[in-house]
């Protein structure tokens, strides 16, 4: 597939018809695969990618589960908004021109999707023109879309037309849901499942031929009831999605209204009256804190100013208490020693008196003859000493910390009081903002009501789903009751065998493609990783699509332990591997590809990925992603360059050849 051009007609920031060539006309530069778009954020780079996907897939381009109402709102919002509020445009279109030959024979296609906003409803029309086929004119819109879906399945296109958010989504894919969905779409498993469903329907129809008319009526009634219940569920779910979309838009409107209030009167999350009430609260808090601080200062808190003196005092008191205990011990010892000596003399006689004195001196001399270390200055009881010790070591530090907290709280209250007073002083009178405040109040009221409706609708949707599942269960039970009647002829046997064969085919196809995907990933990651990055291998479970990363030694690596840059490289390598495994030769469109990468990983991507990623690589970049240095590295592989400039006065973007500081590539060639 080769994208020739995209035409934007009053699409988003582009006014009028803007045709953008996506492939150089000069033969000298046609071997250069890269088309580089440059633009600052908000200029309209993403519109190129959006227009391409929208032209091909319509509502499906916005993702699964997009409701019809949300899609119509998207189309309405995508019509260019003119600066002239009196004359607003009501229609827009996107056209994609490309050549493609999946069966070996190349055809030129021109796909146009145009729409008109009639106020109550947006009317959309899809037009397909082909250089070699003329049968599109008589086909319905559904048939035309089905043709495009078969030509380039949306699941496959997701692997080639993506942005930085797709990379981030795959990099942070914890439950493997994103990768699993990509692999299923890549393999076309949805088509196989659809075929299996058709076969089951055929088998059931054959089975009905072998049962009574009453049983057939019962089953048909259950099938009809289930289909009605399922349709009711889908409608309820669509209504729920619409409500969620309305809530999202209402939240955006609230943000805008709050912004207007901020511009006109500062931060008006609270009204002037609320600010005044807050000031009164702060004044009361300040008085309370001041009273508490005074109470602390009347107690032991001031002693914190004499911590060194208190420390010396406590040391003196401890030594005095120790000496008092020693004096008491000395008196008691003297009394007991006198009795002991008296008994020894009575037993040993007076001749042993000198020996007794010598032994007593040797054993107890240190205690009996010890002198005072400090001079006693205080005469405190042990109870008084314990009270003073508790006060110095516990109460004073506690009071000091509490005093510090109260002082800090008082200072914070003073600052907040000063700020609140300034807000009230500079804020305009509430009467001047009455319209905006009334609007904001109504928006908050509508938001609360809508949130309640969403809760009610969610419960109703769950109820309908439960009823639908119960109807399906009864249908399955009824079918199982006469399931033996399925063998109603050779064709039923063929269908049954085919269904079983499809299961086996799906398993083998998945296993083979997953193995190839693992090999392609290793090659891609090694090509993009820095030398100091981990050497990764990916083992993918063909049933659950769970990815197990291992290093070159076979040790398992937790993906969350990878650096941010390694995760991005992992995701890009996986996307490249998926694209190559698909076997499709499609262009690559990538929007803001380098925003989350460091300079070394960017360098790898510039040199090893973009020049060889595909035969056509369209890059949508800012000047800080592909900067002057990276531009020089890519220059030999660039076939076309464009710069998108937004004009704030006209509120539209213009597209010119060249890239920021660089002259157009085609001129340089």
Q: How confident is the model at residue 258 (pLDDT cuts 50, 70, 90)?
A: confident
- The position carrying tokens 């290093």 is 551
Q: What is the pLDDT, as a whole number, of residue 203?
A: 60
pLDDT exceeds cutoff 50 at 364: yes
Q: Is pLDDT at 125 greater than 80 in this prediction? A: yes
Do residues 618 and 589 make contact, with C-beta atoms less than 8 angstroms apart? yes
Instruction: Classify burial at 294, counting beta carbons within 10 Å of its beta carbon; exposed 0-12, middle 13-18, buried 19 or more.
Output: exposed
Q: Which two tokens stand for residue 366?
A: 């240190």
More confident of the two residues 159 and 270: 159
- pLDDT category at 487 given cuts 50, 70, 90 is very low
Q: Kindly tell me if the per-residue pLDDT of 93 is higher than 60.
A: yes
Q: What are phi and psi of 657, to 5 degrees?
A: -65, 150
Q: Which position has the higher pLDDT, 138 or 104?
A: 138
pLDDT of 282-319, one tens digit each?
A: 888 888 888 888 887 777 767 766 777 777 777 777 77
Q: List strand residue ranges (DSSP E) for 131-224, in order.
A: 161-163
- The answer, yes or no, to whether residue 517 has pLDDT greater than 60, is yes
Residue 607 φ then ψ, to 5°: -90, -35
For 573, other C-beta atoms within 10 Å of its C-beta total 23
Average pLDDT over residues 239-258: 79
pLDDT at 433: 66
Reported as a single tens digit per residue, the pLDDT across 402-454 is 888 888 888 888 888 888 777 666 655 656 667 777 888 888 888 889 889 88
Report the C-alpha gap between 372 and 345 in whole angstroms. Answer: 32
Residue 377 has pLDDT above 50, yes or no: yes
**So what's the pLDDT on residue 432?**
62
Task: Please state the rounded mean pLDDT for residues 528-546.
Answer: 75
Give the contacts of 633 (CB within 8 A, at least 6 positions apart).
603, 606, 607
* pLDDT band of 11, cuts 50, 70, 90: very high
Confidence at residue 114, expressed as pLDDT on a 0 to 100 scale: 96
Q: Kindly report the three-state secondary structure assignment for every residue of 443-464.
A: HHHHHHHHHHHHHHHHHHHHHH
Asked whether the predicted pLDDT for residue 360 surpasses 60, the reply is yes
pLDDT, residue 484, reads 40
> Are 94 and 7 spatial neighbours (Cβ–Cβ below 8 Å)?
yes
Q: Which of 136-150, 474-488, 525-539, 627-641 has the lowest mean pLDDT?
A: 474-488
Contact 443, 253 (CB under 8 A): yes
Q: How far apart are CA 37 and CA 643, in angstroms?
A: 6
pLDDT of 500 reads 64
Per-residue pLDDT band for 156 (boundaries 50, 70, 90) equals: confident
- Under DSSP, the state recorded for 306 is G
The mean predicted confidence, pLDDT, of the chain is: 79
- Choose between 325 and 236: higher pLDDT: 236
Confidence bin at 533 (pLDDT 50/70/90):
low
Beta-sheet strand order (sheet of 107-117): 17-21, 2-9, 91-100, 107-117, 122-130
Count of positions (residues) in the chain:
669
Q: What separation, in Å, do the N-terminal and C-terminal C-alpha atoms of the chain show?
A: 25
Mean pLDDT, rounded, for 136-157: 84
The pLDDT tens digits of the residues spanning 190-204 come to: 666 666 666 666 666
Confidence (pLDDT) at 59 = 92
Token code pair at residue 257: 């209204």
* 507, two tokens: 């398993």
Task: Name the pLDDT band for 486 (thresholds 50, 70, 90).
Answer: very low
Q: Which residue has the higher pLDDT, 483 or 24?
A: 24
The string of DSSP letters for 352-406 reads: GHHHHHHHHHHHHHHHHHPPPSS-------HHHHHHHHHIIIIIHHHHHHHHHHH
CA–CA dist 78, 249 (Å, integer): 15
* Token pair in block for residue 376: 């006693």
pLDDT for 638 = 92
pLDDT for residue 73: 92
Burial of 57 per CB tally in 10 Å (0-12, 13-18, 19+) = buried
Max mean pLDDT range (17-21, 229-233, 279-283): 17-21
Tens digit of each residue's pLDDT (9 = 90 or more) over 594-627: 766 777 778 888 888 888 888 999 999 988 888 8
Q: Any idea which of 36-50, 121-135, 371-385, 623-637 has the lowest mean pLDDT?
A: 371-385
- Antiparallel, parallel or unpaired: β 91-100 and 2-9: antiparallel
pLDDT band per the 50, 70, 90 thresholds, residue 111: very high
- DSSP β-ladder status, 547-550 and 537-540: antiparallel
């Amino acid at each position: 597939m080769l994208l020739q051009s995209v035409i934007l007609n009053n699409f988003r920031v582009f006014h009028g018809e803007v045709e953008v060539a996506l492939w150089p006309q000069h033969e000298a530069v046609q071997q250069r695969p890269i088309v580089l778009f440059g633009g600052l954020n908000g200029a309209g780079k993403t519109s190129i990618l959006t227009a391409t996907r929208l032209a091909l897939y319509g509502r499906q381009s916005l993702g699964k589960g997009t409701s019809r109402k949300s899609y119509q709102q998207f189309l309405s919002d995508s019509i260019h908004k003119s600066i002239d509020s009196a004359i607003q445009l009501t229609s827009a279109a996107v056209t994609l021109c490309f050549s493609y030959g999946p069966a070996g024979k190349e055809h030129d296609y021109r796909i146009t999707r145009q729409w008109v906003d009639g106020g109550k409803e947006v009317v959309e029309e899809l037009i397909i023109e082909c250089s070699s086929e003329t049968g599109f004119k008589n086909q319905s819109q559904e048939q035309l879309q089905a043709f495009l879906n078969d030509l380039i399945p949306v699941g496959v296109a997701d692997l080639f037309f993506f942005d930085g958010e797709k990379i981030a989504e795959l990099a942070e894919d914890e439950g493997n849901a994103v990768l699993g969905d990509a692999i299923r779409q890549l393999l076309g498993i949805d088509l196989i499942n659809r075929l299996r469903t058709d076969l089951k329907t055929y088998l059931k129809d054959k089975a009905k031929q072998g049962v009574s008319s009453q049983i057939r009526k019962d089953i048909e009634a259950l099938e009809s009831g289930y289909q009605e219940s399922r349709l009711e569920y889908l409608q309820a779910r669509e209504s729920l999605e619409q409500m969620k979309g309305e809530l999202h838009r209402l939240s955006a409107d609230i943000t805008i209204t709050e912004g207007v209030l901020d511009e006109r009167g500062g931060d008006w999350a609270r009204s002037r009256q609320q600010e005044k009430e807050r000031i009164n609260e702060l004044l009361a808090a300040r008085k309370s804190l001041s009273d508490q601080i005074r109470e602390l200062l009347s107690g032991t808190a001031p002693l914190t100013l004499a911590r060194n003196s208190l420390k010396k005092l406590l040391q003196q008191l401890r030594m005095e208490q120790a000496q008092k205990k020693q004096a008491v011990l000395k008196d008691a010892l003297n009394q007991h020693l006198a009795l002991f000596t008296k008994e020894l003399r009575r037993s040993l006689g007076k001749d042993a008196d000198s020996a007794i004195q010598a032994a007593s001196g040797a054993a107890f001399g240190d205690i009996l003859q010890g002198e005072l270390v400090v001079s006693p200055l205080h005469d405190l009881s042990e109870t008084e000493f314990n009270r003073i010790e508790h006060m110095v070591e516990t109460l004073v530090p506690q009071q000091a910390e509490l005093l510090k907290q109260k002082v800090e709280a008082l200072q914070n209250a003073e600052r907040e009081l000063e700020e609140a007073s300034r807000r009230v002083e500079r804020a305009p009178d509430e009467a001047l903002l009455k319209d905006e405040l009334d609007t904001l109040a109504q928006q908050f009221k509508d938001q609360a009501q809508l949130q309640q409706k969403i809760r009610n609708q969610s419960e109703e949707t769950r109820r309908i789903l439960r009823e639908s599942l119960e109807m399906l269960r009864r249908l399955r039970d009824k079918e199982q009751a006469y399931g033996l009647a399925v063998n109603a002829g050779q064709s039923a046997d063929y269908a049954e065998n085919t269904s079983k064969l499809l299961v086996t085919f799906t398993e083998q196809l998945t296993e083979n493609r997953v193995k190839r995907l693992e090999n392609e990933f290793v090659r891609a990651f090694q090509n993009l990783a820095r030398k100091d990055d981990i050497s990764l291998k990916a083992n993918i479970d063909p049933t659950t699509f769970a990815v197990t990363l291992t290093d070159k030694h076979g040790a398992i690596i937790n993906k969350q332990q990878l650096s941010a840059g390694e995760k991005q490289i992992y995701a890009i390598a996986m996307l490249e591997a998926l694209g190559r495994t698909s076997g499709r030769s499609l262009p690559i469109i990538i929007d803001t590809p380098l925003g989350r990468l460091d300079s070394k990983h960017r360098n790898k991507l510039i040199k090893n990925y973009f020049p060889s990623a595909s035969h056509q690589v369209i890059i949508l970049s800012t000047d800080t992603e592909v900067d002057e240095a990276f531009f020089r590295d890519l220059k030999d592989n660039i076939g076309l360059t464009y710069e998108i400039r937004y004009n704030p006065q006209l509120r539209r973007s213009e597209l010119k050849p060249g890239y920021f500081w660089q002259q157009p590539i085609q001129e340089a060639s």
